[in-house]
Amino acid sequence: MQRIRLRYTKRGRLRFTSHRDFQRAFERALRRAEVPMAYSAGFTPHPKVSYANAAPTGTGSEAEYLEIALTEARDPQKLCELLDESLPAGLDVIEAVEARTSGLADRLTASVWELRLDGVDPADADRAVAAFNAADTVEVQRLMKNGVRTFDARSAVVRLETCSPQPAAGVGSTGATGAGQLGGPTDQPCAILRLVVRHVTPAVRPDDVLSGLRAVADLAPPVPAAVTRLAQGLLDEETGAVTDPLAPDREAAEAQSTADPTAAAKAPA
């Protein structure tokens, strides 16, 4: 059995698809691409697909991950192209690697988010961010299955800062596409926040941080924020950077290729 790990995106209007919607679209794409999927046992077999830490409905993402199990070996790059062609525009498979290490989910310990606040003056955003960062705790409330829960949104935030709006998509230090998909500057004021947050329980989401900014500095955007996940991966505690979770698999493949120069010729079609 071969395991393939995929990185995919949710862009444009497709950010409003739920995780269940994506699951259905992805399983249809597997059938269209004639991927030799492994299936679970039992009366209702399902394709073996492992989803990891999906972004909330309504948020865009440049860094969603999943893993599939195949009954026959396939070339990851060709598989990536076939699946991307079989999915609607906006749900884009942009990278595929063969799983050569364990614990993909364990390497998703933090996320980098970008929040576009249309109608918010950057100076007001600067003051709110400073107040949030200076606070020891920022309590917020969220309605959950068992009722309203109060929790600290500050402790999970590794870094929160303002940055300049970008007129076009770019590539940041995390290796993820920037906020160009959200649109360039307009005549209205606009503040852009960059957020690095640990994956904790309960999960601290970008909207929880916005609630915290409202609590500590009365910052209330006049329209809903446009939120995009730029990256997720293992948090480097010393630098605060979020590393690429697929890097260990690529490095293992390169190491094997160096040790066995004939490996590329043996690669499956």
Q: What is the pLDDT of residues 61-77, one digit of tens each?
A: 999 999 999 999 999 99
pLDDT value at residue 245: 96
Per-residue pLDDT at 165 exceeds 90: no
Residue 145 — very low, low, confident or very high, per pLDDT cuts 50/70/90?
confident
pLDDT value at residue 249: 95
pLDDT value at residue 100: 93
Tokens representing 55 are 């972004």
Segment 124-149 shows an average pLDDT of 95
Residue 260 — very low, low, confident or very high, per pLDDT cuts 50/70/90?
confident
Segment 81-92 shows an average pLDDT of 96
Indicate the helix (H) or strand (E) that contains 8. Answer: strand 2-10
pLDDT value at residue 164: 81
- Distant-in-sequence, close-in-space partners of 28: CB < 8 Å, separation ≥ 6: 86
Per-residue pLDDT at 125 exceeds 70: yes
DSSP state of 189: -
pLDDT value at residue 266: 53
Which domains, from first to last, does the chain contain? Answer: 2-105 (3.30.70.580), 110-243 (no CATH)
With 0-12 / 13-18 / 19 or more C-beta atoms within 10 angstroms meaning exposed / middle / buried, residue 23 is: middle
Per-residue pLDDT at 188 exceeds 60: yes
Return d(Cα 78, Cα 72) in angstroms, integer. 14
Pairing of strands 157-163, 93-98: unpaired
Peptide bond into 76 cis (omega under 30): no
Q: Say if residues 60 and 11 touch (Cβ distance below 8 Å).
A: yes
DSSP state of 65: E
Nearest to 96 by CA among 111, 119, 75, 80: 80
Determine the 3-state secondary structure of 149 from DSSP. strand
